[in-house]
């Protein structure tokens, strides 16, 4: 928790839209399970520049002690950075923050997406991480990330630090190039780890077809397929999925997106992003409260909320 004694925790989530979010459900369940007095609210804020004033006011409320912790989702994981007093190293390197807290009078941004994603990915596709890549960098597995927003930044940074060669595909090539340049620059000025192999591409069939034979993992880091547009898919029409690939869709509502459904129909191992949601939320909960997050309770609450009516 923050430096001052807090009797009632006031937590929340900001982003746009938020109708699909399960964050309030899982954090309310966690507060109840740990017997902490608190509440978790949704703070829908439109994309900047329209939402600039509202986003600034939320951070100002944290400085005044009216809010004690915030999660940040699409489209504000990057937009929030200039409003913060400090960034944890992972948020700085990834160029995105999804968790905000107060320490020593400063409003600080962190990124729990990185570890949350890697933890969940390893839980169902651990075989992709078994080899010792440090002895033979050329054996690095290759991943294709769809999207270049704040969610994609955490995924790309996490995989790059885990030794992957990462291809980033966006509808506008300049978005992918900006993401790649940002993470490469952070690597040069950071802890001295080898520069990750990152490659920008356009998210079009003709640009990606030649990559597919080498791709072991495809991650959807766009909102396409999210409720209520559950029939949408980020995958280019007419482009076959690699038969040996693993598919991970960060979207978790619905539980089976059109992208996951098509991957499974093609015989691929595929997962939604519910596990990542819980893992990153648990890390944020522990940052805010100092207590171990009740993972199973949070997972059950999410599953219950997603059951068909």
Which pLDDT tens digit goes with each residue over 116-175?
999 999 999 998 886 545 445 557 899 999 999 999 999 999 999 999 999 999 999 999
Domain extents in the chain: 9-111+277-306, 115-272
Average pLDDT, the chain: 92
What is the fold, at CATH topology level, of the domain defined by 9-111+277-306? Rossmann fold (3.40.50)
- Do 9-111+277-306 and 115-272 show the same overall fold? yes
The torsion angles phi and psi of 106, rounded to 5 degrees, stand at: -105, 145
Mean pLDDT of 90-112: 96
Structure confidence by residue, pLDDT tens digits, 3-15 = 455 779 999 999 9
* Residues above pLDDT 90, as percent of the chain: 84
* Residues above pLDDT 70, as percent of the chain: 92
- At how many degrees (to 10) do helices 150-161 and 173-189 cross? 50
pTM beyond cutoff 0.85: yes
The β-bridge relationship of strands 198-202 and 246-249 is: unpaired
From 224-228, 280-284, 287-291, the region with the lowest mean pLDDT: 224-228
pLDDT, greater one: 237 or 133: 237
Q: In what order do the strands lie in the sheet with 106-110?
A: 38-44, 9-15, 69-72, 99-103, 106-110, 86-87
Q: DSSP assignment of 143-182, as one string?
A: EEEE--SHHHHHHHHHHHHTT-EEEEEESSHHHHHHHHHH
Structure confidence by residue, pLDDT tens digits, 36-83 = 999 999 999 999 999 999 999 999 999 999 999 999 999 999 999 999
Structure confidence by residue, pLDDT tens digits, 166-205 = 999 999 999 999 999 999 887 665 555 555 699 999 999 9
Per-residue confidence (pLDDT) for residue 5, from 0 to 100: 59
pLDDT at 287 exceeding the cut of 80? yes
Per-residue confidence (pLDDT) for residue 130, from 0 to 100: 62
Q: Note the residue count of the chain.
A: 309
Catalytic residue among 77, 88, 122, 307: 77
The CATH H-level (homologous superfamily) assignment of domain 115-272 is: NAD(P)-binding Rossmann-like Domain (3.40.50.720)
Is 77 designated active site?
A: yes
């Amino acid at each position: 928790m923050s430096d001052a004694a807090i009797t009632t925790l006031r937590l929340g989530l900001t982003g746009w839209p938020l109708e699909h979010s399960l964050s309030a459900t899982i954090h309310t369940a966690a507060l109840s399970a740990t017997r902490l007095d608190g509440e978790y609210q949704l703070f829908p804020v439109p994309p900047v520049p329209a939402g600039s004033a509202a986003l600034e006011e939320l951070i100002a409320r944290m400085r005044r002690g009216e809010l004690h912790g915030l999660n940040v989702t699409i489209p504000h994981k990057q937009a929030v950075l200039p409003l913060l007093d400090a960034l944890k190293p992972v948020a700085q390197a990834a160029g995105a923050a999804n968790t905000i807290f107060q320490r020593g009078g400063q409003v600080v941004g962190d990124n729990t997406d990185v570890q949350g994603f890697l933890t969940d990915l390893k839980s169902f596709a651990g075989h992709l991480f078994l080899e010792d890549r440090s002895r033979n960098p050329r054996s690095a597995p290759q991943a294709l990330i769809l999207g270049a927003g704040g969610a994609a930044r955490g995924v790309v940074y996490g995989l790059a630090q885990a030794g992957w060669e990462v291809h980033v595909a966006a509808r506008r090539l300049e978005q992918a190039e900006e993401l790649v340049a940002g993470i490469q620059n952070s690597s040069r000025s950071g802890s001295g780890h080898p520069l990750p192999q990152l490659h920008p591409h356009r998210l079009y069939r003709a640009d990606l077809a030649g990559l597919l034979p080498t791709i072991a993992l495809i991650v959807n880091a766009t909102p396409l397929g999210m409720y209520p547009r559950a029939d949408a898919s980020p995958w280019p029409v007419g482009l076959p999925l690699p038969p040996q690939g693993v598919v991970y869709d960060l979207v978790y509502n619905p539980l089976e997106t059109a992208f996951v459904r098509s991957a499974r129909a093609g015989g691929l191992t595929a997962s939604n992003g519910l596990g990542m949601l819980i893992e990153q939320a648990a890390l944020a909960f522990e940052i805010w409260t100092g207590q171990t997050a009740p993972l199973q309770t949070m997972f059950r609450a999410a599953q219950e909320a997603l059951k068909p009516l």
